[in-house]
Chain A
């Protein structure tokens, strides 16, 4: 059952020594943590890099790391946000809208017309969710009035950083 108040934040951290870590943080409307899931590091061989070519990131982020993370969550968020574009391929594994968050200067003119700005974040819905833009805009505007949409990603990175030291 969908938790009307939860929001999901999905990202990948690239560690030069260990590989790729995935992190998925689910928070309540006040930004407080409900669940956190993180993957063991994933290393890709040189042969895989060559043979997958430009399809590697999308497959790795979305089909492997992202899929593993969203499968573990017991809280179903209203929307999932990611700040990593290749992660958008996880959309097929989700029952909720997915959007890409990027930092922006509110004074700059937006480059993409399919999207909207909340605070200092530019939100671009997945191409398959652009029909839900009004809904996303409303829910994220309410949430974004309290929580900077870029901030939870910093927490995930800090947690993964700590996990590497542990």
Chain B
């Protein structure tokens, strides 16, 4: 309309913030400024999206396959999948400096030696069943259940190509070796095993192999050259047994026949500590995959002994330039030594061993003649024969079992001296019992290097006390020689851990009395009792009779009221020579 003021209209656009209408007035009054328009955006950009991966990828898998081992003894070669053995004569790798042993488990497991590096080979050992399960699964029977430490010994030996079992005497080194041989043969890891031992122990080893591994065929290499050639050549004999002297003699023959062994076991391996000896050279010349040494004294005099031993066990592993500490570290994984104190909880307080001794050839001949002559005389006496006659013959034969009356030779003395070497080297002390003072005298003369002392009833009290004092306190005296009769005097010898019964008494109770002078309250550890028995002699027959008499009271009195020397009746004594007692056997 004419004369109206100009109207300014401000529009509210989309996106502008809606303000109350009272504030959006047209400018009708010239004095009022239009209000400002506030513009606030509702959104600037799309939100970011984070993707969380939920899919779990299938992991990579490593696979290892093991061939099923042959189960028949001596069948097949090493099972495929078993760790490859180093070629004969190869220098073994030095063990790595790091690496801990697996944690101890209540089950005995075969664990990989430190020089096994490949993971697949380690798995082969780690994935085997524990030893108890293996023995049960294989239905391996033992004449006596092995002690836990003996199972550990087997777990130590089985995986090793180079091993020294250095257990203290009496802990069953041969049993552990034989049982390990058994496992290797049954699993196909060994088909040809050679056991080398001192001459005097061949029959012992043959006996123990028969006792602990009856399913294994064993051949003893002995006799004349043609016989030995045939025995060396026998093809399907898993175990061959030979003494050191024969091996030295047949060194060239073994090479000529091209013989190789999966395992070579040395008993009393300290024999080869002198690297320059013919024995050491002969042993080292035998081609083999595994080398085991059994010895109670791996270090007799100096570290050089160990070097000599390891020239066989693991050539190049150690050398004379090494310090003892370095040497020890280098061989640590190859040596296992247990002492009786450490395995005491597994062992009875008294450990009995029967050591069966083969008489020397000369002793055997002297014995044979004496027995034949004596039996003929008894038979000739007829009804006039008395127990005294039989007794005299038994005593005479027993004395020959100790020492050959013609030549002075003694297979028992040779064995005793070998065992006392170990006793002395380990710083222990031994008691040796005999029923004859003459025997004690001869032993004292022969065992001077062990500081042998004598103790018997014929000595004055003062002299006997002095002997005990010196034996107890002087380290130079490793052995005390006693008569059974001296047991009447109370003796406190519990510091002696070895007892040898050089010859047996008639009555087991008297023997126990003698043994218990060492095995008594205050004894520091288990006592090992070794009973010597000459094989195929009166001693074995007496032993059989006494074993049959479990009840001590039966072993004391005779049926006819005749008192006889403790343990055996008149009938027993005559029966020793397959003779019937006379109707009246006078004392």
Contact = CB atoms under 8 A, between A and B. Distances in A.
- Are A and B physically bound partners? yes
Interface string A6-48: 0000000000000000100101101111111111111011011
B129 A31 contact: yes
Main secondary structure of the interface of B (DSSP, over half): loop
Q: How large is the interface on A (under 10, 10 to 19, 20 to 34, 35 or more residues)?
A: 35 or more
A51 B137 contact: no
B102 A72 contact: no
Interface string B59-76: 111111110110000000
Nearest to A154: B105
B128 A32 contact: yes
Nearest to B98: A165
Given A33-B66, A47-B52, A147 B137 contact: yes
B56 A60 contact: yes
Contact of B136 (A41, A146, A154): A146
Contacts of B64: 35-37
Nearest to A147: B133
Contacts of B58: 64, 67-68
Contacts of A44: 56
Contacts of A74: 65
B236 interface: no
Nearest to B107: A151
A39 B60 contact: yes
A114 interface: no
B123 A42 contact: no
A135 interface: no
B59 A64 contact: yes
Given A47-B52, A151-B130, A155-B126, A72 B63 contact: yes
Given A32-B68, A51-B52, A151-B133, A69 B61 contact: yes
A79 to B, nearest CB: 18
A148 B119 contact: no
Interface in B482-496: none
Nearest to A160: B126
Interface in B85-130: 99, 102, 105, 107, 109, 119, 122-124, 126-130
A30 B63 contact: no
A140 interface: no
A161 to B, nearest CB: 8
B59 A68 contact: yes
Contacts of A151: 107, 129-130, 133
B56 A159 contact: no
Contacts of A38: 61-62
B138 interface: yes
A32 B69 contact: yes
B560 interface: no
Contacts of B54: 48, 51-52
Contacts of A40: 59-62
A146 B137 contact: yes
Nearest to A19: B59
A102 interface: no
A33 B128 CA distance: 6
A101 B109 CA distance: 22
A165 B117 CA distance: 12
A41 B124 CA distance: 21
A25 B126 CA distance: 12
Going nearest first, the 9 A-B pairs with the smallest beta carbon separation are: A30-B137, A31-B129, A33-B127, A39-B59, A40-B60, A68-B58, A146-B137, A36-B64, A72-B61
21 contacts: A22-B59, A30-B129, A32-B66, A32-B128, A33-B123, A35-B64, A36-B66, A37-B62, A37-B64, A42-B56, A48-B52, A48-B53, A68-B59, A68-B61, A69-B61, A146-B133, A147-B129, A154-B105, A156-B127, A159-B123, A162-B122
